[in-house]
Amino acid sequence: MNETHKDQAPRPPQMHGVLVLDKPNGPTSARCLEMVKRRLGQRKIGHAGTLDPMATGVLVVLLGEATKIAGFVTEGQKVYTGQLLLGQNTDTFDAEGTVTAEAPWEHITPEMAREAVDSWKAMTTQDIPPYSAVKVNGQPLYKKARKGEEVPVVTKPVTVFEAETLSLELPLINFRVRVSPGAYVRSLVHSLGTRLGSGAHLTQLIRECSHPFGIAEAVQLDELLENPERLAQRVIPLADALPHWPRLALSPEQAKKVRDGKWLSLAELPGPETRVMLADPMGQPVALAEPQDRDGARRWAIIRGLNTPA
């Protein structure tokens, strides 16, 4: 099937929900979204957590009204498997960069390597890679790096909940980590190389999970682009986009109040002391809410209004 024929194929209507892509190696996350937007007619589109071009695996794409909940979807922990190479540092901290330093690695024993991976769990901060989209004074770090300018060292909090060595064939180490949102695995690898005195960079990375969505739910980008009629069956409805959030059912009268921006009291709509999704009698999301005190009562504060078109 040629490109022209594909572009002339009927495009699905705008969807509202989550599309879990299995991102291929090579394109940027933005490029993947652009292909879905152009080829599948999804004009309103975003994502929850970018992946570097060399990385593969779970890319959570948000369609239509689901773009409004990006900040809540990105809160989830991430699970990655990866491979690193000892003996070389690169300017990007991964295999796509230019080698900046080399050092012997032969003194490193399997026990030392496993201990270095395990030590990630003790980290509380990490340096952000110089080639990243993080902004300082309004300018992304990668722009400074590409110009050859001095890149400021920026640190951020990080939590590594699990770190496991899967296999060793030194100087290669295969590993799995479960990390807090926004963590840079290539920075973990760079820090390991510094600790061992050999240098190291990331050579492979697969995101297995961006909680609550896993690789088992993901569809390959090429498969989806070649079969646009399958998009609807691959989109997780907005009502199920935050499956770990409790959902409270509203009466027709309550749904109208919430749509009008009114805060319902917990007395009239009992629920847990946590963030919830409020849904109308048809099960369609109306808003995200959380308990707050207001006017002498505990009420459901609307933190994001939602409006799924019929």
Most trustworthy range by pLDDT among 44-48, 51-55, 72-76, 169-173: 169-173
| Inter-residue long-range contacts of 34-42, CB under 8 Å, 24+ positions, other chains counted | 35/221, 35/225, 36/61, 36/221, 36/224, 36/225, 39/6, 39/7, 39/11, 39/225, 39/228, 40/11, 40/12, 40/224, 40/225, 40/228, 40/231, 41/11, 41/12, 41/13, 41/14, 42/12, 42/14, 42/15
Closest CA to 273 of 243, 251, 298: 298
- Do residues 88 and 102 touch, judged by C-beta distance below 8 A? yes
- Structure confidence at residue 133 (pLDDT): 65
- Mean pLDDT over 73-82 rounds to 95
pLDDT tops 80 at residue 200: yes
- Structure confidence at residue 196 (pLDDT): 97
177-196 per-position pLDDT tens digit: 999 998 999 999 999 999 99
- Structure confidence at residue 212 (pLDDT): 94
- Structure confidence at residue 147 (pLDDT): 66
- Structure confidence at residue 205 (pLDDT): 98
The Cα 253–Cα 281 span in angstroms is 10
39-61 per-position pLDDT tens digit: 999 999 999 988 999 999 999 99
* Set 22, 52, 94, 280: catalytic member: 52
The number of helix segments (H) and strand segments (E) in the chain equals 9, 20
- Structure confidence at residue 2 (pLDDT): 38
Spans of all domains in the chain:
3-75+212-240, 78-205, 247-305
Query: 4-18, 46-60, 64-78, 197-211: which range is least confident on average?
Result: 4-18
CATH class of 78-205: alpha beta
Neighbours of 296 (CB within 10 A): 7
- Mean pLDDT over 237-252 rounds to 96
112-163 per-position pLDDT tens digit: 999 999 999 999 999 877 766 666 666 666 666 676 766 667 788 999 999 9
Across all residues in the chain, what is the average pLDDT?
A: 91
Same topology between domain 3-75+212-240 and domain 78-205 = no
Q: Is 52 a catalytic residue?
A: yes
The Cα 166–Cα 223 span in angstroms is 30
- Structure confidence at residue 4 (pLDDT): 39
Which overall architecture, per CATH, does domain 3-75+212-240 show?
2-Layer Sandwich (3.30)
pLDDT tops 50 at residue 30: yes
CATH topology for 247-305? 2.30.130
- Mean pLDDT over 233-259 rounds to 96
In the chain, pLDDT over 70 holds for what percent of residues? 90
- Confidence at 1, pLDDT banded by 50, 70, 90: very low
- Structure confidence at residue 9 (pLDDT): 60
- Confidence at 5, pLDDT banded by 50, 70, 90: very low
Sign of the Cα torsion 39, 44, 47, 52 reads positive
pTM of the prediction? 0.89
